[in-house]
Chain A
Amino acid sequence: MKTKIKKIIIPLLFIVFFIVFLFFPSNNYVYKQVEGSNVNIIGKISNKDTITQEFVSDNNYDAFGFKFANYSQMIFKGNLEVSIKDKTTNKTTVKKVELNEQQDNSYIYVNYNLKKKHNYEIEIKNNSNKEITFYTARDKNDKTKLYLNDKFQKSDLQMTFRYKEKKYSFIWYYLMALFLYLTYLVLNVGDKK
């Protein structure tokens, strides 16, 4: 039985894993952060405020994020309502992001497929009874505009964009396991010779 495992089952597993890793690699997320100067915050945002950010996507992305802070509070209930309007196609999608799952001073990601060169307008509403804020940075160009309660702001939300890449790093684990197993076989441990 031991010989069967050693010489048939384990090599078979290696072959199966090789096929899986080579033809079905997992995805790796790559983040592109928009650099900006004069990093600041937009001010306290309560459930009465609305933020509107306009921008043009420079590439295809599968998610975008904006930097959030909650003044070190624990938020047990409430969400952010993010409505994304693709001004190029005039289509609006509304997403809800649970605030309970977010961390102070980190990016909140919204899964949405942004298309290259499309104009977008995102509207953010705080549906919780806690005050929060968002980081801003000065990245002024003609294509980006930020409004707080319809009032034009001099900065933009600090944003990041995410896209997927095929990940082949499992090959390393595969090779490591394979060569360790081959070493074991070469040594003939347990053989009575």
Chain B
Amino acid sequence: MKKKIIYILISFILSFIGSILFEVIIINHETIGKKSDYNPKIIETKDVKKDKGYYVTTSKDSYIKIKANSNYINKISFNYKYSKDFSWNYSYEENGEEVKIGATSSSFMNKTIKKVNKNTNTIKISFMNKNVKIKNISIDNSIFIYWYRVIALTIVLTIIMSLLILRKDLKKFKIENIFLVLALSFGLAFIIVSPKHIYTGFDDQVHFAHVLNPFRLEKSNYSYAEQITVSGALVRDNTYITTKEEKIEFYKTLNNIHKKTKNRKATIVNDRRVFGNLIYLPFTIGYKLANLLNFSFTTCLMISKFFNLLLYSFMMYLAIKYAKYGKKVIFMVGFIPEIMHLASQFSYDPTIVSGLTLATVCYMNIIMSEKLDKKSILLFIICTVWASLPKALYCPFLLLLLFIPNKKFESKKQAIIFKLLITIITGLLMATFVLPTATGQMSADDRGNGASVSGQIKYILNNPISFIVTLFKFNIVYIWKIFSEENILFLPYLADTSKFKILYIIYLVTLLYYVFTSGNKETIKKGNRVLLSLEVIGIWLLFCVALYLKFTKVGLNTIKGMQPRYIDPLFVSLFYIFMFRKHEKNNDYLYIIVPTIYLIAIIGLLAIKVA
């Protein structure tokens, strides 16, 4: 084994060298052997004057034309100063025609670097604003090593080589330990390879604001860097930051601004109630701790995400460990690319997934044990309450405990009191959305055009049959989406993953293969399968009703705003319904190989296109 550890260390070093070579030879192949020109000749200007080392534009139609020494321009860069964001463009000649590319620069930054990658030696930079100050105009043909990509690729290559080295020893390792190591490694690669700002996951600008102020303090520390990040204006508009070099400048700017203004007090809007914010605590603890240790802003973001990844990985680890069967199914659910990606972004979805997955496993243990499994019951309650705090619609999951046979309790009295308390806890959780709806305090989502909660309730009460038909019709068409590519592999804002259709099909087929070949000598009874089915269907329908009220135009014969990912926390419950083999039939390692290949492909794609 010692020998293999040494091999893994060597493979890590080789992976690092390989990643640097990939960066230099493949990514930078256009610039190898080319020279940069830091003082190109200015051959023509219009409405530009020189002032204290700067070129200053004097009209709304100013330009500077530069000529390079070589006949190739990879990038142009210059420093600037201007009080507001400003638009400009650069142009060059190609086949006798002028090619013009528009750009926008932010007043927060002071350097821009734009890609040209053309065999040309003259560039015209035009400005549409007066008083823009420019200096250090350069033609940059140097090799640029993007270290985030190098580190992410090193992690991925080390995983591949380690799995190859340990292929014959995999039997010796417990499946939950393999999950933990792989989840943390892939999650870390996702964090490193993802942009160090928001708009990398569903609604993450909102989640990040909540992370900064989970207890809804009236004034809290809010640096300008955090404010810029929450607003997201610079990353939403794709004319601002267009090159990796510019991205690094953006990160440097954010880090500087954060350092200067981290003690600024301001109001961070958080309209979610405090109990709904508790799920952000891992993020908040990681972020505040990193801040306390004076790490840069972008590092704080990464550490914050890593703390949540730790919680997700640990809860899934426990779920696999405690599961009496179907461990490989839980392993594969935990590695569903979309969930894994979100586990490394500002999102609470994966925490809900891991919470309800662990709760499901506890429930299986409760109903399969002859005696009352008190520890599993407690863990079930804690996980379900935790997962229901941000999305209370999952709380009916608690009601499964009402069906524990009374004979398992020490006395009938104990059973009745316990079940009464569970009903009250469920009621308290449900009250968080039922009461505001009933009293008219709940308002419709701003994104739902023509939606009105009170209007929709009136409509449903007046047309109950029409509503049931809508619910039924919608689900007939929509139900198939729960296993669609949209729910297995969708990286919001980041990349088009349609090229991975084959991998998606392989993933789904492998997952279903494990579902239908998993089982245990003592499988759960039919009655419990029916209960699980009712629970899954019930919660799904609750989501449909909630979105019909909050998001759908009054009286519409469909449901708007529904997303297949709402079923993800119930995936394992759903799969347990179909696991009724007497013995596990599978004895292979597809459950490791398939997610590994899939995740490597996605991280590779992000590394090249998005990082």
Same assembly: yes
Minimum Cβ distance to chain B for residue A64 (Å): 15
A160-193: CB near B (< 8 Å → 1, else 0) gives: 0000000001001101100110111011110001
B371-411: CB near A (< 8 Å → 1, else 0) gives: 01011011001000100000000000000000000000010
- Knowing A73-B107, A176-B428, the reply to whether A101 touches B84 (Cβ < 8 A) is no
Is B414's CB within 8 Å of the partner chain A?
A: yes
Q: How far is the CA of A184 from the CA of B227 in the complex (A)?
A: 43
Which residue of chain A has its CB nearest to the CB of B106?
Answer: A72
B69-99: CB near A (< 8 Å → 1, else 0) gives: 0000000000000011100000000000000
The answer on a CB contact under 8 Å between A186 and B428 is no
Complex partner residue of A71 from B84, B108, B233, B275, CB under 8 angstroms: B84
The answer on a CB contact under 8 Å between B421 and A101 is no
Q: How far is the CA of A95 from the CA of B233 in the complex (A)?
A: 32
Is A50's CB within 8 Å of the partner chain B?
A: no
The answer on a CB contact under 8 Å between B428 and A187 is no
- Knowing A100-B264, A173-B275, the reply to whether A182 touches B421 (Cβ < 8 A) is yes
Contacts of A76 in B (CB 8 A): 260-261
28 of the cross-chain contacts (CB-CB < 8 Å) are A73-B83, A73-B84, A74-B257, A100-B264, A101-B265, A101-B267, A103-B266, A104-B231, A106-B269, A169-B273, A172-B432, A175-B428, A176-B428, A179-B421, A179-B424, A179-B425, A180-B381, A182-B421, A183-B381, A183-B418, A184-B378, A186-B421, A187-B377, A188-B410, A189-B374, A189-B375, A189-B378, A193-B410
Is B224's CB within 8 Å of the partner chain A?
A: yes
Q: For chain A, residues 77 to 95, give those with C-beta under 8 angstroms from any C-beta of chain B.
A: none
Q: From A104, A106, A172, A175, name the one whose CB has the most chain B CB atoms within 10 angstroms.
A: A172
Which residue of chain A has its CB nearest to the CB of B435?
Answer: A172
The answer on a CB contact under 8 Å between B428 and A172 is yes
Is B417's CB within 8 Å of the partner chain A?
A: yes
Contacts of A175 in B (CB 8 A): 428
Is A53's CB within 8 Å of the partner chain B?
A: no
Contacts of A71 in B (CB 8 A): 84
Q: Which residues of B does A touch, CB under 8 Å?
A: 83-85, 107-108, 219, 224, 227, 231, 233, 257, 260-261, 264-267, 269, 273-275, 372, 374-375, 377-378, 381, 385, 410, 414, 417-418, 421-422, 424-425, 428, 431-432
Is A133's CB within 8 Å of the partner chain B?
A: no
Q: Which residues of A does B touch, CB under 8 Å?
A: 71-74, 76, 100-104, 106, 169, 172-173, 175-176, 179-180, 182-184, 186-189, 193
The answer on a CB contact under 8 Å between A186 and B425 is no
Minimum Cβ distance to chain B for residue A99 (Å): 11
Q: How far is the CA of A100 from the CA of B267 in the complex (A)?
A: 11
For the complex of A and B, list the 4 residue pairs with the smallest distance between their C-beta atoms, beginning with the closest.
A189-B374, A183-B421, A101-B266, A187-B374
Q: How far is the CA of A19 from the CA of B218 in the complex (A)?
A: 25
Q: How far is the CA of A103 from the CA of B267 in the complex (A)?
A: 8
Minimum Cβ distance to chain A for residue B253 (Å): 11
Contacts of B261 in A (CB 8 A): 74, 76, 100
Q: How far is the CA of A149 from the CA of B347 in the complex (A)?
A: 49
Which residue of chain B has its CB nearest to the CB of A173?
Answer: B275
The answer on a CB contact under 8 Å between B108 and A186 is no
Contacts of B107 in A (CB 8 A): 72-73
The answer on a CB contact under 8 Å between B266 and A102 is yes
Q: How far is the CA of A189 from the CA of B428 in the complex (A)?
A: 23
Q: How far is the CA of A100 from the CA of B227 in the complex (A)?
A: 12
Given A76-B260, A172-B432, 13 further pairs, Cβ under 8 A: A74-B224, A74-B261, A101-B267, A103-B266, A103-B267, A106-B269, A173-B274, A173-B275, A183-B421, A184-B378, A186-B414, A189-B375, A189-B378
Q: How far is the CA of A184 from the CA of B274 in the complex (A)?
A: 24
Contacts of B418 in A (CB 8 A): 183, 186-187
